[in-house]
Structure 1
């Protein structure tokens, strides 16, 4: 026969009261069923837990030893139940978030802080990468949430836009067009470009390229680099020009200028992604905070 939790609760109540009648009232039981369950527990253990006389009830040596263990077991079960409830509510556990570097130039870092304060027991792990790898990591289950730049629709993933930004041209400070308030994309027809590799994200690469294709040309990319800071430094050094989401202007140093592109309708989208069918509260809670944080800035 197996010991059940109710056996332990009944035993602890009798041990606390050292009186079957009072223990029964505390447990909202009749006394005979309580006595029967204590005898069953003693039968399972193969030893007597209480010495009973007409005047008193007291613990045996085995009972005293078992009482400590019974209390510990009940406490552990209660803690485990509370932890399970907390995990079920998304208040505890491990959350792995992959993000692209340009997200750090938006409100996203602030939402990370908000989430940490609201869910201090969640182990938040952040992984910086590029859009294509974040999407692959989501699909494979290596991460739970992704923050993308122009990832777009993908099989098995829920992808939703968070923030839409215009593109700007990034020029060396001494470029002839650097003093302009705005320029046409056609003005960059003969310029060498520095840009991300297509492997970092096909849609993130093709979207800005389409701006120039509308004017009948595709930029000549003379140098690739994985990070916006590197690209801006290359522009400042005179290796070429580039096109970037407007948030990149926040890290533009004094050797480059960001200029608005006139008449361009194409915009860059910062996106939230997670696996289709995702139901865990820990993911939903993070997504809600991210949406709310970005929404306040948009409004």
Structure 2
């Protein structure tokens, strides 16, 4: 069997299909913009590759053999797939097709992520978004190893090699059980939480903000007893709702609709210490047009918040 490169195979298939429809070498050659001899040679080469005659040639004209008839739909399917592959490659090159792997920390569900995704998917319906809920530290690791295309992480220390867009900056608020003595106050000094069991997101999950909460409490004159270290802010709020702890949580957690808790602004503490920042992060220098389109959508939503 002869071996052809991909371009030769596609050319031979186009010639074959033209001849199968015209059943006349002269008309097929004219349709293809060829003289008749190159067409005849190409058909002979294709028949040699197949290992069977595809046409019956006679003085009365040209007819397809049984092998030729069977080969028509297969040849057309190959050409159709090749054409589709070209279109898909071009669309990926301009960011109109493909897929993106996006990581996010849970609080982003209350800080604009659904709106970003809705707008982006409405404008680019052929791009597939795969979401992975991960802690901030997990996202940084996945980004550095190219297992995420972008992530929404809560961190004050962005590693070198990662670019960023500040998506959200929100205050921390005190979170206490709904029946707590502080629950009806309009604001609360941080030192009012001293001596009570504290719930925190674990250091391994969000090391920056774990340390920041401890620093805030230290500046207020007390060291919290981190009685409970949890994986998610929702778990922290839920535990407070059970009356088992107090906490400092991002203000967006008020939108979770959790029963049995009260959220109170904290007074008497430096405001810049009470910000919970969310960054969209990605690895710089990647040739990925779809990511550029996604980051543009993120930037537009972030700028209007």
TM range (shorter): 0.7 to 0.9
* Equivalent in the alignment of 1:69: 74
TM-score by length of 1: 0.84
CA offsets 1:230-265 (integer angstroms, 9 cap, x no match): 322332343332111110111254532212223422
Matches of 1:78 and 1:254 in 2, distance apart? 57
Deviation track 1:164-212 (CA, whole Å, cap 9, x = no partner) reads: 1122122233444433333343444444422111111211222333333
C-alpha distance in 1, partners of 2:240/2:129?
A: 35
Q: Distance in 1 between matches of 2:193 and 2:146?
A: 42
- Is residue 210 of structure 1 aligned with residue 215 of structure 2? yes
Task: Tell me if 1:264 matches 2:271.
Answer: yes
Unaligned runs of 5+ in 2: none
What's 1:293 paired with?
301
Match in the other structure for 2:3: 2
Q: In structure 1, the residue corresponding to 2:286 is in which secondary structure? A: coil
CA distance in 2, matches of 1:64, 1:230: 66
Moved more, 9-18 or 93-102: 93-102
User: Is the Cα–Cα contact under 8 Å of residues 151 and 201 in structure 1 kept in the other structure?
Assistant: no
CA contact (8 A) 1:193 1:220 kept: yes
Match of 2:134 in 1: 129
RMSD: 2.9
Q: Which residue of the partner structure matches residue 278 of structure 1? A: 286
Asked if 1 retains the 8 angstrom alpha-carbon contact of 2:23 and 2:61, the reply is yes
For residues 57-79 of structure 1, what are the alpha-carbon distances to aligned partners after superposition, in whole Å with 9 as ceiling and x for unaligned? 33233333333332222122223
Aligned residue pair count = 297
1:157 aligned partner: 162
Note if contact 1:131-1:151 (Cα within 8 Å) is conserved in structure 2: no
- Give the drift of 1:133: 1.9
